[in-house]
Amino acid sequence: MSKGQIITLAFVTVLFCVANVKEGIGQSIFGAILGFAITYGVIYWINKRKSITPEQKAKIQQEKTQKLKQKQQLKQEKAQVKLELQKAKLKEKELEVQRKTLKREERKKAKAESVKVKEYATPPSQPVQSQPSLVCPHCGSTNIQPLGQHKKGFSVGKAVGGTILTGGVGALAGFAGKKTKQTDFVCMNCGKQFKR
- Could you tell me the CA-to-CA distances from 18 to 29, 30, 52, 173 in Å, in that order? 9, 11, 36, 143
User: Interface with Zn ion includes 27 (CB under 5 A)?
Assistant: no
User: Interface with Zn ion includes 189 (CB under 5 A)?
Assistant: yes
DSSP-based three-state secondary structure for 185: strand
User: Interface with Zn ion includes 186 (CB under 5 A)?
Assistant: no
Closer residue to Zn ion (CB): 73 or 155: 155
**x-marked contacts with Zn ion along 109-138 as a string, rule CB under 5 A:** ---------------------------x-x
Q: Does residue 26 contact residue 46 with C-beta atoms inside 8 Å? A: no
Q: Which stretch binds Zn ion (CB under 5 A): 32-40, 104-112, 121-129, 182-190?
A: 182-190
**x-marked contacts with Zn ion along 134-173 as a string, rule CB under 5 A:** --x-xx-x--------------------------------
User: Interface with Zn ion includes 187 (CB under 5 A)?
Assistant: yes
Minimal distance, residue 134 CB to Zn ion, in Å: 11
User: Interface with Zn ion includes 193 (CB under 5 A)?
Assistant: no
- Could you tell me the CA-to-CA distances from 60 to 44, 51, 52, 94 in Å, in that order? 21, 14, 10, 50
Minimal distance, residue 179 CB to Zn ion, in Å: 22
Q: Does residue 154 contact residue 145 with C-beta atoms inside 8 Å? A: yes
Minimal distance, residue 139 CB to Zn ion, in Å: 3
Please tell me the distance from the alpha carbon of residue 38 to that of residue 131, in angstroms, as a whole number: 136
Minimal distance, residue 110 CB to Zn ion, in Å: 32
Closer residue to Zn ion (CB): 34 or 139: 139
Give one DSSP letter per residue of 47-113, joined into a string.
HHHHHS-HHHHHHHHHHHHHHHHHHHHHHHHHHHHHHHHHHHHHHHHHHHHHHHHHHHHHHHHHHHH
* DSSP H helix total and E strand total for the chain: 4, 3
Minimal distance, residue 92 CB to Zn ion, in Å: 59
Side chain identity, residue 15: L
Closer residue to Zn ion (CB): 42 or 139: 139
Residues contributing to the site for Zn ion (CB under 5 A): 136, 138-139, 141, 187, 189-190
